[in-house]
Every structure is written in structure tokens, then in C-alpha cells.
Amino acid sequence: MNDSPAIAEAVAAQRDFAAGLFDDLRALSIDEPGVTRDPYGEGENKAHRQFALVARECGFEVSTDFAANSFATLPGRDRAAPRIVIGSHLDSVPHGGNFDGAAGVVAGLTAMRALRSLGVEATCDLTTMAIRAEESMWFRVSYLGSRAALGTLPTSALDATRVDTGRTLADQMRECGADPECVARGDASLAPESVAAYAELHIEQAPSLLVDGLPMAVCTAVPGNFRYPNARVIGEYNHVGLPRRFRRDAVTGAVDVASYLDDVWQANEAAGRPMAVTIGQFFTDPEQHSLTHVPGEVRFSLDVRCYDEAQLASLEADLLDALAEIEARRGVRIDLGPRTGVPVGTMAPELIAALTESARRQDVPSILLGSPGSHDAAAFAAAGVPTAMILLRNANGSHNPDEAMEIDDFMAGTTVLTDWLFNAVSDAASLR
């Protein structure tokens, strides 16, 4: 029987453990003005070594897979039964914050310690997964570690190059002791059918909870996206005095693209269809551009995301039509380059309901909220695993050194997670 006060007390007793692990991770990866845990590099490696060290000290079973993901397991009665996985990533953007990703890993270990202190006997294994390479800005491919474990990472991802080293994912994986040949074969270290449910706790990457004065939300969906990391508008370099009718100006063509996308975003938001557009890079060639030169090329990156697959497909089809019109009008050529994308990650309705009930039982105020960011949870959901997320209040956004998750909010969210797990591990078969 769920004893809500006992669960809350058991989690509260882990406060110093959780705070200490956050401090240790920060100390290992400090890179002023923030932290850098580069994926399939030394920064991420240090964090995974610390995770393994702490998990062993806790008495959990520790393992790694062919993608160098790390696992800490509290064994259940039936070791062959589908397991429950709590997870998130340990990598970060350059000079990022200490909580993006790491909060979910620390929450998993904290919840497992609390459940063990309560003497909970699980019917299946309960595993905290520290996932590799979630931050797609490094290789420009999403969910590398989680999709590799699930057997859903495309072989082509192995040829993606890390933006700072220029080395392929396959090479970076080998350097970290991983085996990219397993990815090439489509192996799965965590086959979807072997996972009863996946849950991820993550800081919110927008100020919604901050504005609403709430510590947490139960996530309803993770947006899908399409991305063009290396798009170009190709015009014609020419003299600054060239009359307008003769120009093939790459900058004005690129500005038209950006303006079109912003108009589409505004129209969709006004119609109640949430989405987001990000042009993360937008630049002319520094070897060619000058004050007195009509620019002949602009390079840009594009990320478009939303919560509905039909809307996502429509946005992309309309974009392609709009680009053709801009090409004709501006006399330029638009080469979007290689495309990547991931499907919308819809959270399991029954898990949304269960987490909402756990929040009510634990007297933790919460709302239902879509996540504005991408998360490994979407990879699990896309693979058919029942998936859930808890979002935590966090000031100053993420992907910057000023992330400001409060430990009180972290403990509240972890209490809700632990309350749900208390029931889930006693009847894991009902999750599927």
C-alpha cells in the first residue's frame, strides 16, 4: 500500500546525496562561465565515471552498453521481466548549465535509494540510465545514445562529424570504448520490448512554471522536428553599386526565408497550434564578405518543431513551396542540404494520469505541459515504449550557465517520481 508520508520522508532523507552529486558533476566539468560535458569526449566521460562510482557505492549493479551508455540497476524478483528505466543525459552544450540532463540521472539514483530504504520489493529490475550524446548541436543528429541503445539510430549517423573536432561519431565512440559496429548492425542493448516504461525528469526550458509559480509539470508531449543543419542561399557576388534589378543578393534571399518562417510561426501560435522556429546560424563567408560587395552566399541552420505530426509535415511542405517562390523572386538558389528529423514524442496517457495522481497524493502542485525542448523520452516513445516526463521549474532557461533549478523543486519532482515508482515496480506488467 502506498504510504505517501513515508515516501516523502524517504526522498527527503536523500537531499544531501542529491545535492552532493550535483556539486560533484559540476566540479568535474567546470568550464567557465558554465560547464561543458562534450559527448563522446572527456567531459562526458568524466560524468559517466562519476555516475558509475556513485552507483557502485550505493550498492547498485553497474553496467555499460556498446554505445557507452551507463546503467545502475536495483534488481527485481524477476530479472527476465521488462524493466522500468528512469533516465536522462549527462552531456551538455558548451559552457552550459549543470542541470540540463543531469537532473534526470540524479533523480533516478535518488529515487532508487529512497525505494530501497523503504524495503520495496520490485517485481522487475529498476534501472537508472545515464544516456550519451543527447545534445544534438555537437553532431547535429538527435538522441544518439538513446536511439543506439534502442536499435533505432540510423547507420548514417555514424558518419556525422562533431562540430569542434571534425571527427566522425564512429571515431569518437571508439575512443570512448564504444562499438559503432553494433550500431551499424542495428543491435539493441535495450530492446523496446524489454522496457516496461521509461520516465525522465528534466528542467523546463521555458519560464512557464516560473510564471505560474509551480514547482513541476507532468509533460504531455515532446515536439518532433525537421532540421537542415547546413542550408545555403546561393546568389551572385557583385559590386556594391549594382542596380537592384540585376542583383542576386543572397542576404535578401535569406532574410526573406527568415521572415517567412517568423510569419508562419506567428500565424500558427495565433491559431492555437504551438510550434517553434530557430535559425541558429546565419552568416556570410568571412573570406568573401565586405562593405562594398553584394553577398553571393549565406549559410544558415534551421530547426522547426511542433507537437503534431500532420502539422509538422504541412509546415515542411509549405516551406518548400515558399522557398521556390523566393528563389524565383530573388534570382537565388536555396540548397537546404542534408535533412534530419525526429517524430513527435507523445507521452503515454496512462502514465500522465498516474504521475498526476502521484503529485496529488504528495501534495505537489502541478499542471500538464508540453515540453518546448527535445528529450531522449521522445526516442523511447517513438520506439513504442510507454513513456512519461516530469518537468521542473527552472529560471533563466537552459543551454546557458545560468540555469537556476532549485533543490526544493528537484526534491518535490523526485518525490512524485518515487511515489509513482513505488506503485509501478510492484505491478510492472500492467504498464504495457
pLDDT of 93: 97
The x, y and z cell numbers of residue 300, run together, are 544558415
Give the pLDDT confidence of 192-233 residue by residue, as tens digits.
Answer: 999 999 999 999 999 999 999 999 999 999 999 999 999 999
Would the annotation count 89 as a binding residue?
yes
Crossing angle between the packed helical segments 102-117 and 407-424, to the nearest 10 degrees: 50
- β-partners of residue 195 are 83
Cα–Cα distances (Å) from 118 to 1, 15, 71, 129, 168, in that order, read: 12, 16, 22, 22, 46
Distance separating alpha carbons of residues 253 and 360, to the nearest angstrom: 52
Q: Which pLDDT does position 2 carry in this prediction?
A: 72
Residue 432 pLDDT grade (very low, low, confident, very high; cuts 50, 70, 90): confident
399 labelled binding-site residue: yes
Q: 126: which strand partners? A: 74, 84
Categorize the per-residue pLDDT at 426 as very low, low, confident or very high, splitting at 50, 70 and 90: confident
- Three-state DSSP at 211 gives helix
What's residue 430's pLDDT? 80
> What confidence score (pLDDT) does residue 1 get?
62
Give the per-residue pLDDT at 429. Answer: 75
Instruction: Locate the DSSP E strands across 14-162.
Output: 30-31, 34-35, 61-64, 70-74, 83-89, 126-131
Statement: 225-342 belongs to CATH 3.90.1640.20: no
**CA dihedral of residues 50, 51, 54, 58 (deg, nearest 10):** -170
d(CA 410, CA 274): 27
- CA quadruple 112, 117, 120, 123: dihedral positive or negative? positive
Count other Cβ atoms within 10 Å, centred on residue 183: 24
The annotation status of 202 as a binding-site residue, yes or no, is: yes
4-59 pLDDT, tens digit each? 999 999 999 999 999 999 999 999 999 999 999 999 999 999 999 999 999 999 99
Task: From residue 133, give the alpha-carbon distance in Å to each of 259, 351, 378.
Answer: 32, 26, 14
Q: What is the DSSP letter of 372?
A: S
Specify burial of residue 394 (Cβ count, 10 A radius: 0-12, 13-18, 19+).
buried
Q: Please state the CATH superfamily assignment of the domain spanning residues 4-223+344-431 in this structure.
A: Zn peptidases (3.40.630.10)
Element (H, E) at 186: none
Q: Tens digit of pLDDT for each residue in 130-175? A: 999 999 999 999 999 999 999 999 999 999 999 999 999 999 999 9
The predicted pLDDT at position 390 comes to 98
Percent of the chain scoring above 90 in pLDDT: 97
Domain(s) of CATH 3.40.630.10: residues in the chain: 4-223+344-431
Residue-averaged pLDDT of the chain: 97
Mean pLDDT, to the nearest integer, of 62-76?
98
Q: What is the pLDDT of residues 399-412, one digit of tens each?
A: 999 999 999 999 99
Residue 95 is assigned to a ligand binding site: no
